[in-house]
Structure 1
Amino acid sequence: MILPDGYSDVPHGKIAAVVTHLEMTAPPARRDDPPGTWSLRKVDTPPLPWYRDLFRRVGENWLWFSRARMNDAELAAIVHATGIEVYALVVDDRQEGLLELDFRQPGQCELVYFGVTAGLIGTGAARFLMNRALERAWSGEVRRVWVHTCTLDHPSAVAFYQRSGFRPFRRQIEIADDPRLDGTAPRDAAKHVPVIA
């Protein structure tokens, strides 16, 4: 369905976001790491409580909800699948960033989840994490790396991805139940998105 020009109502109890898909079809020029004491840790067969905690701490303020709504079997089927790689950004022995790569489609890598906790935004940690993400994404037989972000995410997300070498190629509207109304996220999460019950 094509949305008409002008305003379209979003039902009460729902959230709406403009989703931008971005891709690269060749490895970008290498960008220097910013100064910092970060490291990356691969987490094979991530324990579900660990994954849920990091997912929540990184994404709750941006209303990341899809994995939070999954039961254990659904979540394990994804994060334990062959071709999925999960990494944590480590700072002072604390895990403060999430990177999830999906290599299940031949010749492609999707940055499924990418982010750092609120205290690390603006410190260079995300640049470090992106450098590692692109190194890993392009390390095999890959012809395309892609990611999507939306207007619920940090306002600089699209510009960050473009500086990293991605180019936008598709835009969509996503409408979903507001995760703050069913307890998936706290009622006070994502203060930049008003709750309309």
Structure 2
Amino acid sequence: MDSDQKHLPAGYHDVAPNMLATIVTCLEMTARPAPRANPPTDGLTVERWNAPALEDYRALYRRVGEDWLWVSRAVMEGDELAAIIEDPAVEIFSLMRNGERLGLLELDFRQAGECELAFFGLDQSLIGSGAGRILMNVAIDKAWDKPISRFWVHTCHLDHPAALAFYQRSGFRPYKRMVEIFEDPRQTGKLRADAAPHFPVLQAE
């Protein structure tokens, strides 16, 4: 580890009422893992989503991520977001049933030799149904079909409580932990005021 890297000292650190603090875990795999069987698909398919319209993309992003306080793509300027999702090195897939988009998978190959699992999420109605395994199997296959040596992802404790264990079962290995502090998007109107009820809003005194 870089000895010059700064770390928070041991102890408690106050966070302003309008800010959120979360523990981020970074995970990686450096070889394709052994395949895991898909559960019954129950009519679900995973389809490539080429150059989605910004509002359609943001709608699905919010659908799967708002209650886990996903905010970055919801507030990103349109030109900046379009440059990412239209980049040929970024591959976007959606989990579909009867024409409805119920899950988001985004693979970012912009760093040579690597793939970032940039976004991975399901509609709340599918959590615990096995749909996550279907989507992850596609993610692993699509990532390792390219000439990469590393596939990585990060998650935080604002995500679904089963997310970290799911990534580990899928073959990812934790390698770094960070603290992220950012403005609470529910207090600025960037996300619903009642989003993520498992992580209450703090009111300034």
**Which residue of structure 2 aligns with residue 113 of structure 1?**
119
Aligned counterpart in structure 1 of residue 103 of structure 2, from 93, 97, 103: 97
Unpaired runs of 5+ in structure 2? 1-5
**Aligned equivalents of 1:175 and 1:162: distance in 2?**
25
Q: CA deviation at 1:74?
A: 1.4
Aligned counterpart in structure 2 of residue 165 of structure 1, from 149, 167, 171: 171
Q: CA deviation at 1:82?
A: 2.5
Give the TM-score taking structure 1 as reference length: 0.98
SS at match of 1:191: coil
**Which residue of structure 1 aligns with residue 54 of structure 2?**
48
The answer to whether 1:6 aligns with 2:11 is yes
Deviation per CA, 1:29-63, whole angstroms, max 9, x where unpaired? 00000012211111111110110000000000000
**Aligned equivalents of 1:124 and 1:94: distance in 2?**
18
**Aligned equivalents of 1:50 and 1:143: distance in 2?**
32
**Aligned equivalents of 1:92 and 1:164: distance in 2?**
27
Aligned counterpart in structure 2 of residue 125 of structure 1, from 121, 131, 142: 131
CA RMSD of aligned residues (A): 0.8
Give the TM-score taking structure 2 as reference length: 0.94
Q: CA deviation at 1:92?
A: 2.4
The answer to whether 1:32 aligns with 2:42 is no
Unpaired runs of 5+ in structure 1? none
**Which residue of structure 2 aligns with residue 21 of structure 1?**
26
Name the amino acid aligned to 1:22: L
**Which residue of structure 1 aligns with residue 195 of structure 2?**
189
**Aligned equivalents of 1:78 and 1:16: distance in 2?**
26
Identity %: 53
Name the amino acid aligned to 1:5: A
**Which residue of structure 1 aligns with residue 157 of structure 2?**
151
The answer to whether 1:141 aligns with 2:147 is yes
**Aligned equivalents of 1:181 and 1:41: distance in 2?**
35
Q: CA deviation at 1:6?
A: 1.6
Runs of 4+ in 1 over 2 A off after TM superposition: none
Q: CA deviation at 1:170?
A: 0.5
